[in-house]
Structures are given as structure tokens and as C-alpha cells.
Amino acid sequence: MKILLIQDYLRSGGTERQSVLLANAFAAAGHATILCTFRPGGALAGTVDPRVAHRALQPFDLGLDWFAPRLFRLSAAARPDVILCLGRMANCYAGSLQRRHPGAAVVATMRTGKTLPALFRRSLGRCRHIVANSYEAREALISDHGIRAEKIAVIYNSLVFPPDALVEGTRSSPRESLRAHYGAGAATCVMLCVAMFRPEKNQRELVEIVAGLSPDLDWHLWLAGDGPARASCERLAANLNLTARVRFLGFHHDPSPLYAAADLAVHASWSEALSNFLIEAQAHGLPVVAGEAQGIRECFIPGRTGWAIPRGDHAAFRAALTARIAEPPGIRAACAAAARTYARETFDPARQVAAYLDLFARLVQAVSIQTD
């Protein structure tokens, strides 16, 4: 098959990591694969497999996520069997792409709990198929947007950093050295959040939540990532006298060592859909405390390896954190084992890539039958 993937920009976000993972996997499976981005460059540009033809539409980075010059010219020249749109801006073009390429299967994706732009909503009705990354997202497409159930496939996000090299008993040395580097003691509960610093990721509220924890608890909050909201979060932590406990670690191409050094994954976004960070954390054995959002409960086993907190309920969030911090080592170890098993089986990259390719094959066959 000829597969064209469309993404606005290869920033370091979760959807962008999924885009690169899928493009690389499709090419490795022998399919002619083009990854088209609106903007050139980006933090993840260097991770694209050489077998993937990466095409940037803007001649130089104009900083405009929506501007896609020559998109239709490129798609016409590529003559793809399948066009997969990833990210909100790319999905806004899905309807127009389907209209211009009736012989191709244009697949939109639903990976967000945020309000959808009008062009995105229109594309949902015009494209040939939709992939939702959670069953809750599928239900939202049916109830809120009137999409037929048979037009929607659910394919979970893939583990971008499969922890195959992590086996029980191998965490101690790098774990302890990294914890010591950031000032965490052996008994400190390290809470970790890996996400871009954007308003919807809501790290500010996470800082406000931990500021209300009992001063007798031994904890650190590590915030890994970069972005426009980082400076304001750093100022907030300083104003709350939390600089000794709240650490800003910057962007990490591979956060696996951070997962290995932490004890608990925390996430306070109320609009985030199925979170790449949370499934990665689960795969590395970290229990989760997260704000309630679309698909969040599908990242973990509710009440066993993860706890979803109602929007804005800081008291409940702190209570869940306090309970996890105070858990005996035996209970924490059992929770970690269950989290690893659940995430590694549910979000296995080979399974998810196979699901996409199977869907594409069925769509291409259906298009062929219709056009014969």
C-alpha cells in the first residue's frame, strides 16, 4: 500500500510521537510511506526512519500550524491508497482530501478531548473512516457528532518507549543515581509528569495541588518537558516556596530513565484524551493519579493501578496522592506489577500497528469494490 500520513509539526507531543512511530512502522513493514508535515523541523524530525519520505510543505518554518501550502498537489502526486490524518490541524483537511481523492481511503483520527474546530467536525462526516484512540472517544463521536458506529475503529495509542529492557531487579543503580542527582532520598516518593508545557496540560494546577500536601510527607514532583507554559510554572513553584521539591527537568527524547527513577505518575489535564504519558508510565510500573478526562480510565485499571479524580477536586487529588505516598512497599510492588502487565499487553506497538494495517487493507479493498 501507499500510505500518506499528515501532521502539522513534529513537536515533542504525544500525537506527534504516535505519528512518527506509525510512519516508521508502516515503512518497516514494506509499505511506501510518506510523512507530510505542514512545518519543517521540530524536536522529533530526527527520529523519522530514512525509509519514510518526509515532506514539509512550508519552505521555512512560518510558525503556522494550520498553513499547508501545496498539500493537495503533494497528495495528488503521491497517489496514496490511504491518507491518515493525525492531530487537530491535519484532521481539518481530511474532508477536503477525501473529496479530492475519492479513490483513496482518508482516515481521520479522534485523539483529543478538546473542542473540535468546525473544519474538523465537517471532516468527520466526509472522510471514509475514523480511528478513535479510546472507547470513550468513540462514544463521543456517536453521541456528540452523529457518526455511525460502523465508521469508527478503536485503536489505542502505542507504547512509544516499550520497556523491554527493563526487568525486575535492574532499576536500582540508574534509579538511585538519578534520584540523588535531583535531590530525592531513598524514601522520597517521586511523582512524575512528562508532558509539553502547554496550557491544556495544566502543570500549574498540579503544582497548586501538591502545594497543599501535608508538610510531613516526603515527596518530590518532577516535571519533564518544555514549552510556552514552563516559565509561569517555575515562577509559581518559586512563589509557593516549592523549588526544593518541584523539579523542572526539561525535554527528554527518551524519558525511560525518569520512569525508572519515579514512584508515581501524576497528570492534571482535564481535557487530555488517552494519555501517552500515562500508558508509558504504567508500562514502567508506575501507578497513576490523574484528572478525569476522555479515555483516561482506559489508561489503567481503575482503583487498582490508577485513580481518576473529578475535575477541579483538589482535595480528592491530594487524598489520592497521600494514600499512594503512604502505601507499604508490598502493596506498591503488587500495583507496579499489575500496571506493567496491563500496559504492555494493551498498548503493545506491534498489535496497534497491525490493527492499523488491517483496517487500511479492508478500506482499500472496499474502495476497490466500489470503483470497479
Could you tell me if 219 and 287 lie in one domain? Answer: yes
Buried/exposed code over 90-108 (b: 16+ C-beta within 10 A; e: otherwise): bbbbbbbbbeebeebbbbb
| Residue 164 belongs to some domain of the structure | no
pLDDT at 36: 98
Could you tell me if 7 and 125 lie in one domain? Answer: yes
How would you write the pLDDT of the chain (372 residues) with one tens digit per residue? 999 999 999 998 889 999 999 999 999 999 999 999 999 999 999 999 999 999 999 999 999 999 999 999 999 999 999 999 999 999 999 999 999 999 999 999 998 877 899 999 999 999 999 999 999 999 999 999 999 999 999 999 999 877 654 444 444 457 888 999 999 999 999 999 999 998 889 999 999 999 999 999 999 999 999 999 999 999 999 999 999 999 999 999 889 999 999 999 999 987 777 888 999 999 999 999 999 988 899 999 999 999 999 988 999 999 999 999 998 888 988 999 999 999 999 999 999 999 999 999 999 999 988 866
Work out whether strand 82-85 and strand 2-7 pair parallel, antiparallel, or are unpaired. Answer: parallel
pLDDT at 39: 98
| Residue 281 belongs to some domain of the structure | yes
* Contact between residue 289 and residue 321 where contact means Cβ atoms under 8 Å apart: yes
| Residue 245 belongs to some domain of the structure | yes
Could you tell me if 220 and 87 lie in one domain? Answer: no
Q: DSSP secondary-structure letter at 266?
A: E
The string of DSSP letters for 173-205 reads HHHHHHHHHTT--TT-EEEEEE----GGG-HHH
Could you tell me if 229 and 294 lie in one domain? Answer: yes
pLDDT at 368: 86
Could you tell me if 246 and 317 lie in one domain? Answer: yes
Could you tell me if 232 and 256 lie in one domain? Answer: yes
d(CA 184, CA 221): 10
Residue 339 parent element (H or E): helix 329-346
Could you tell me if 182 and 256 lie in one domain? Answer: yes
Could you tell me if 53 and 144 lie in one domain? Answer: yes
Cell of 188: 522520597
Could you tell me if 211 and 359 lie in one domain? Answer: no
**Sign of the Cα pseudo-torsion (295, 344, 162, 226, in order):** positive
Residue 54, SS3 per DSSP: strand
Could you tell me if 184 and 140 lie in one domain? Answer: no
pLDDT at 166: 42
d(CA 150, CA 128): 11
**Left (φ > 0), alpha (ψ -120 to 50) or beta: where does 180 sit?**
alpha
| Residue 163 belongs to some domain of the structure | no
| Residue 148 belongs to some domain of the structure | yes
d(CA 370, CA 8): 31
Cell of 216: 510531613
For residue 279, give the CATH number of its domain: 3.40.50.2000
Range of the domain at 72: 2-158+348-371
The count of structural domains within the chain is: 2
